[in-house]
Structure 1
Amino acid sequence: MTGILDELRALRAQDLPTHGGRTLAYVYDSGLAGLDELAAAAHALASSANGLDPTAFPSLLRMENDLVAAAARLLGGGVGAATSGGTESCLLAVLAAREGRPEVANPNMVLPSTAHAAFQKAAHLFRVRAKTVPVDAKTFRADPEAMAAAIDDDTVLVVASAPSYAHGVIDPITEIAAAAAARGVRMHVDACIGGWVLPYLRRLGRPVPEFGFAVEGVTSISVDLHKYAYCPKGVSVLLHADAESRRGHYFSSARWPGYTMLNTTLQSTRSGGPLAAAWAVLREIGDDGYLRLAGDTLEAVTRIREGIGEVDGLEVLGDPDSTLIAVGAASDEFDLFTVADEMKERGWYVQPQFAYESSPVNLHLTVTAANRGSEAEFLGDLRDAVAAARAAGPVTVDPGVAAFVAALDPDTLTAEQFAGLLAAAGLTGGSGLPARMAGINALLAEARPALRERLLLEFLGGLYQS
């Protein structure tokens, strides 16, 4: 048994660090001693329990109700369900909205172009057409008038973010919700990444606009507990204004000789482990603890944002409202993809984001409580990374390769074309990804979004070969 765990530790050593605040995407670290051990013990106690049947495992029912109630207290009420993560919460919000309007033959939903890709996934899965509305070119916030104009008789849902992932800004929730309510359309607020921290930031004096059920017209809200509630993955909560709205994503089937299947989410069998771990973490940290963690995060994000403004060649995109920062390049003297590589060599992971509409190539930073105290080190390494990128110069793509990419059709891409592109990127012979990704990211940046999707799906398929 010890040997197996040693092997697992060796495998995990290849991963990005999940503690210490050095991975500024994907993970959320409270920095609190003993919290991991508590969560792991709680997970182990309930991992074999099955959320498929709450009458067989009433402990899971109790814990889920407690988690939903905690989220409701933060966000102004509502009833809900615990899910496996933000994507499932967003999917269920769309499904419930579609099922709530069965008379609409060709339903659509109105999204700002900065809405999380989970809503595009929902559009694909549930055949609810996504009407994507460009955001303000400078602030990256949704345009309420344009959103209102996009609503029509087939619209079943309007979506806004609190905040958006890419830029950390809160959409004008009040105005958008009013437009949705005027047309009798449901309004979902994607607060997956901000729902647990923004109320505490408001208590600390940060000017956070209302985004929950206190806003008239808001009918559902998603909030992830494995983000700023610092619970292990994956637990999210989807809140609805009332039980009738929630019923649209419930499922039942008695049309077979086995047990009657009853599901509140997309899943049937659900391990009780994540629920129990989240329940334990929420009780351990408590309201005062979350306020302190929000204060640490606010201090860290403020210092990092101010420090970025002092790094020659960098700028913060938009005016972030929360704990996320998008870092852009103020000149074309260097390449941000190279900055990301240089930061990784210095022990930090910052997430490259490709250009889209008015948003240029940038680096995403998710700042957590664990970043408090290491701001100066991060900013010093960032300054050195920019200097190294400036010395290296912009990344260029061979004109012939760029022309080859421009000619590819995502709908007819062949295996031979994909192999040729891999060869052009130097990804042959099963060598895996190179240590430095700037050249590959620059190549991907040449591809329009539909082609980039197809290329990355083909690459993903190659990773999973067994």
Structure 2
Amino acid sequence: MSDVLARLEALRGDDLPTHGGRTLAYVYDSGLADADAIGRTALASFGATNGLDPTAFPSLTAMERDLVAFARPLFHAPEASVGTVTSGGTESVLLAVQTARDAHPEIGRPAMVVPTSAHGAFHKAAHYFGVEPVAVDVDPVTMRAVPEAMTAAMDAHAGRVVLVAASTPSYAHGVIDPVGPIAAAAAERGVRCHVDACIGGWVLPWSDVAQPWDFAVPGVTSLSADLHKYAYTPKGVSLLLHRDAALRRPQFFASADWPGYTMLNATMQSTRSGGPLAAAWAVTQHIGAEGYRTLVATTLDATRALAEAVRSTEHLRLAAEPDASLLAVACDDALDVFTLSDEMGERGWFVQPQMAFRGLPATLHLTVCAATAGGVDDFVVALRDSVAAAVAAGPVQVAPELRAAAAQLDPATLDDAAFDGLLQLAGLGGEGGAVAVPKRMAPVNALLDAAPPRLREALLIAFLDRLTR
């Protein structure tokens, strides 16, 4: 057994750190060792249980009810509201879209209206469920959804829109969409309104938010909030709440059209381990509302300190003023965010580069958590040293002819050999058709940034395909 565990530990050698607050995307660290220990114990204790049949493991149903009961007052949900534990924010969004679609089987070509800043999970849901995404540009200064434009899109697709969405906050820019007017416009038209609070749902209830953003807004019909983010529970657990049971009913799936047990599911999954659910229950019970209040205060203090450091650093600016615990950092022409990201990585900090989109600049994404607070001073030193190094190196240049060629390529016409060639050109190709991930990603990211979105998607799919062969 010790040999197997040693091999597991060796496999972790190249992974990003999950604790210590230096990975500012993907992971969330409360800094509370006791909460981590309780979560791991519960995860292991319930790992063999199965959420497929709620009558076989009633403990899981009881814990799910408790988590929904914990969340209901945080989100100003009415007593009639109901909730489901899912595997994560993407599944919660998928279910919200699927439920809205299935509530209107009479609509042959359903559509949903979302801001361009909405999480990619909405586009995944559109792809899976055949719901056309009508993406509406956000305000280029505030990065928030524009209610008038969202309303106009609803009217332009009248009779087809089954769902409207708003983010609280958006992942890319960390700002809260104006939920009130968006939900009101949806309600006037008899359309469901989903609030994607996957990343902000366990922060905003304990912060000073100027405008209502949750079920306190009358037109909001559903809301998603991840527990494996700022509730600091092991992955993967999210909550999807509906205002009442009738709104949720189309979410359920049942099938008796085979000779086995009647399949009955509340989520996308059938078999699902009870481990993450039990871990979420244990961690939220352990930390409690007051514990989360303290963690949120620590997190927001750190966010404000980092935001001020960005404002006071030459060549950098905030892409938008943050509403919660996320920052988007842009830079001037003296450097590029992709080189800056590499330089921060060299100094032990992972920050996530984000590509330019529809006139919005490329940025660095920072997810700040409670454990980041103790390292703010070190982060600022590393950031300023990284800016100096990136300015000295200069922005990564993509040859104009390469940009022009990328703009003309149709990924639908490319075969495997062509993708292998493109991966080599992008710096992701290895020997014999394999792929290789370079230590410094700035040239790769700059080329991907120059590629049109469809080509970028196709290239990364080709990369993932080869990486997993």
The corresponding residue for 1:256 is 258
Mark the runs of 5 or more structure 1 residues left unpaired by the alignment.
none
1:149 partnered with 2:155: no
Task: Map 1:360-379 to 2 at 5 A.
Answer: 360-379=361-380
Note the alpha carbon deviations across 1:217-252, whole angstroms, 9 max, x for none.
000000000001001100000000000111111011
Q: Which amino acid aligns with 2:15?
A: D
For residues 258 and 66 of structure 1, the distance between their equivalents in structure 2, rounded to whole angstroms, comes to 32
For residues 175 and 359 of structure 2, the distance between their equivalents in structure 1, rounded to whole angstroms, comes to 15
For residues 409 and 109 of structure 1, the distance between their equivalents in structure 2, rounded to whole angstroms, comes to 27
For residues 98 and 220 of structure 2, the distance between their equivalents in structure 1, rounded to whole angstroms, comes to 16
SS in structure 1 of the partner of residue 413 of structure 2: coil
The Cα of 1:34 is off from its aligned counterpart by: 2.1
Task: Map 1:348-367 to 2 at 5 A.
Answer: 348-367=349-368
SS in structure 2 of the partner of residue 237 of structure 1: strand
The corresponding residue for 1:388 is 389
1:129 partnered with 2:135: no
The corresponding residue for 1:417 is 418
The Cα of 1:398 is off from its aligned counterpart by: 2.9
Note the alpha carbon deviations across 1:432-463, whole angstroms, 9 max, x for none.
21110000011111111111011100111011
The corresponding residue for 1:337 is 338
The corresponding residue for 2:53 is 53
For residues 260 and 420 of structure 2, the distance between their equivalents in structure 1, rounded to whole angstroms, comes to 48
> How many aligned residue pairs are there?
460
Q: CA RMSD in A?
A: 1.0
The TM-score, its normalising length taken from structure 2, stands at 0.96
SS in structure 2 of the partner of residue 195 of structure 1: coil
Note the alpha carbon deviations across 1:280-319, whole angstroms, 9 max, x for none.
0001101110000001101100100001111110000112
Q: Which amino acid aligns with 2:394?
A: G
Q: Which amino acid aligns with 1:161?
A: S
For residues 189 and 95 of structure 2, the distance between their equivalents in structure 1, rounded to whole angstroms, comes to 22
For residues 209 and 227 of structure 1, the distance between their equivalents in structure 2, rounded to whole angstroms, comes to 23
The Cα of 1:431 is off from its aligned counterpart by: 6.1
The corresponding residue for 1:10 is 10
Give yes or no for contact 1:51–1:270 (8 Å, CA) kept in 2. Answer: yes
Note the alpha carbon deviations across 1:64-97, whole angstroms, 9 max, x for none.
1111111112101221100000000000001111
1:92 partnered with 2:95: yes
SS in structure 2 of the partner of residue 139 of structure 1: coil
Runs of 4+ in 1 over 6 A off after TM superposition: none
Return 424-433 or 143-152, whichever deviates more. Answer: 424-433
1:284 aligned to 280, 283, 286, which one?
286
Note the alpha carbon deviations across 1:157-189, whole angstroms, 9 max, x for none.
000000000000000000000000000110000
The Cα of 1:407 is off from its aligned counterpart by: 2.8
For residues 399 and 360 of structure 2, the distance between their equivalents in structure 1, rounded to whole angstroms, comes to 24
The TM-score, its normalising length taken from structure 1, stands at 0.97
1:217 aligned to 197, 219, 222, which one?
219
1:271 partnered with 2:277: no
Shift of the 431–42 alpha-carbon distance from structure 1 to 2, 3 Å rule, reads: same
Q: Which amino acid aligns with 1:52?
A: L
Note the alpha carbon deviations across 1:333-372, whole angstroms, 9 max, x for none.
1111100000000000000000012320110000000011
Give yes or no for contact 2:435–2:463 (8 Å, CA) kept in 1. Answer: no
Mark the runs of 5 or more structure 2 residues left unpaired by the alignment.
none
Give yes or no for contact 1:29–1:230 (8 Å, CA) kept in 2. Answer: yes
The Cα of 1:405 is off from its aligned counterpart by: 2.2
Q: Which amino acid aligns with 1:111?
A: V
The corresponding residue for 1:42 is 42
Give yes or no for contact 2:409–2:455 (8 Å, CA) kept in 1. Answer: yes
SS in structure 1 of the partner of residue 254 of structure 2: strand
SS in structure 2 of the partner of residue 374 of structure 1: helix
Give yes or no for contact 1:401–1:424 (8 Å, CA) kept in 2. Answer: no
The corresponding residue for 1:445 is 449
Note the alpha carbon deviations across 1:126-164, whole angstroms, 9 max, x for none.
001111111111111001011011111111100000000
Note the alpha carbon deviations across 1:111-133, whole angstroms, 9 max, x for none.
01100010001111000111111
Q: Which amino acid aligns with 1:423?
A: Q
Give yes or no for contact 2:423–2:459 (8 Å, CA) kept in 1. Answer: no
